[in-house]
Amino acid sequence: MQYNFQEIERKWQKKWAEQKTFSASDPDGTSKPKYYVLDMFPYPSGAGLHVGHPLGYIASDICARFKRHQGFNVLHPMGYDSFGLPAEQYAIQTGQHPAITTKVNISGGVDNKNTQIAGYENQLKKLGFSFDWDREVRTSNPDYYKWTQWIFIQLFNSYYCNDSLQARPISELIEIFDIEGNTKINAVTAQTEIFTANEWKSFSEAKQQEVLSDYRLTYRAETTVNWCPALGTVLANDEVTNGVSERGGYPVYQKKMMQWSMRITAYAERLLRGLETVQWSEAIKESQRNWIGKSQGASIKFKIRN
């Protein structure tokens, strides 16, 4: 008897979708222990998946299915890293608005050249992965990225206190400056000037904001960046290979520019401590330690004549 895999796959995938077989239960609706299986979200910057996508997703899907059979309430979502350079470049190449190309690439349909696009979602479903599609994420949707903007505002209005090992409101810092200056503040900062409460109050508004910027977890500063004129944007180090952009192979130059930066080094110690509580292999933990990059040293200033 011939194994008609297409018919069998269609039958069971339809049943899974109707019965929401792989939907995670809300935490308060089940006593099952929780298990979270998260894949890297693909960039929907092409007409469909490539072999590298299922190569990674098969392994995590096996893990998700195994844990379900063990009685766990498994959250195994899928989403799309659809905001940013890949989507923008694909839109430029095809001459379409990125909102249109992104939607077609994810859900399928016809592009402006009347070419039928299968769509990432249809292909992923045909492969039979046990994703919880009720929890799909698209980073280009306003209802998603409003939260990344919200997080930025929280960081902007916070400083990192070394005593409590946590972010504290910048308004709290202003109150302390009003009472005792920064003589006793133990915070992560680029501020080197020590000032009293009276000196703080005598600062102009611009000077006070400049000081606060040295404490904020997000701040503007002139930094050397990887500038790619052809792409019209700054690139991260891992987006540059041998002096050219990973996407497009365009020349990349070192350039000083005003940029928003994050004082993420403030969290180095907490990240390192937290790493010891995560059930990862030692090899992965070591790569994370290297990425965190905590180092100890000294900063010395020498006075020279004239």
CB count, 10 Å around CB of 131? 24
Q: Please report the pLDDT score of residue 204 as a whole number.
A: 97
In this model, does residue 96 exceed pLDDT 90?
A: no
Q: Please report the pLDDT score of residue 109 as a whole number.
A: 84
The tokens for 305 are: 């004549």
Average pLDDT over residues 27-35: 85
Average pLDDT over residues 191-205: 95
Q: Please report the pLDDT score of residue 76 as a whole number.
A: 97
- The answer to whether 256 touches 280, Cβ cutoff 8 Å, is no
Percentage above 90 pLDDT, the chain: 70
**Sequence-separated (6 or more) residues with CB below 8 Å from residue 140:** 80, 82, 83, 87, 98, 99, 102
Q: What is the pTM of this model?
A: 0.77
Backbone angles phi, psi at 227, to 5 degrees: -100, 125
Average pLDDT over residues 130-135: 95
Average pLDDT over residues 176-186: 95
Q: Please report the pLDDT score of residue 245 as a whole number.
A: 93
Q: Please report the pLDDT score of residue 244 as a whole number.
A: 95
Top-confidence range, 151-155, 288-292, 295-299:
151-155
- Say which range, 8-17, 85-94, 122-131, 278-287, has the weakest mean pLDDT: 85-94
In this model, does residue 120 exceed pLDDT 90?
A: yes
The tokens for 3 are: 């194994």
Top-confidence range, 85-89, 204-208, 291-295:
204-208
Alpha helices in the chain, H assignment, sequence order: 5-19, 52-69, 85-94, 98-107, 120-126, 142-156, 170-180, 197-202, 205-213, 268-275, 282-292
- Say which range, 26-35, 262-271, 275-284, has the weakest mean pLDDT: 26-35
In this model, does residue 203 exceed pLDDT 90?
A: yes
- pLDDT tens-digit map of 211-260: 999 999 999 999 999 999 998 889 988 889 999 998 889 999 999 999 89
Q: Please report the pLDDT score of residue 13 as a whole number.
A: 94
Q: Mean pLDDT across the chain, nearest whole number?
A: 91
- Say which range, 38-52, 73-87, 198-212, has the weakest mean pLDDT: 38-52
For every residue of 190-253, DSSP letters joined together read S------HHHHHHS-HHHHHHHHHTTBSEEEEEEEEEEETTTTEEE-GGGEETTEETTT--B-E
Closest-CA residue to 213 (of 166, 157, 253, 254): 157
In this model, does residue 26 exceed pLDDT 90?
A: no
Report the C-alpha gap between 42 and 49 in whole angstroms.
Answer: 8
Q: Buried b / exposed e across 61-80, counting CB within 10 Å, b at 16+? A: beebbebbeeebbbbbbbbb
- The answer to whether 103 touches 138, Cβ cutoff 8 Å, is no
In this model, does residue 145 exceed pLDDT 80?
A: yes
Report the C-alpha gap between 154 and 167 in whole angstroms.
Answer: 9
Sorted by where each begins, the domain ranges of the chain are 5-140, 149-216, 219-266
8-state DSSP, 137: E
Choose between 105 and 94: higher pLDDT: 105
Architecture of domain 5-140: 3-Layer(aba) Sandwich (3.40)
Closest-CA residue to 121 (of 134, 133, 111, 139): 133
- Say which range, 125-134, 167-176, 215-224, 289-298, has the weakest mean pLDDT: 289-298
Q: Please report the pLDDT score of residue 113 as a whole number.
A: 73
Q: Are strands 240-241 and 244-245 parallel, antiparallel or unpaired?
A: antiparallel
Q: Are strands 73-75 and 34-36 parallel, antiparallel or unpaired?
A: parallel
Q: Please report the pLDDT score of residue 201 as a whole number.
A: 97
- pLDDT tens-digit map of 41-61: 998 877 788 888 888 899 999
Q: Please report the pLDDT score of residue 155 as a whole number.
A: 97
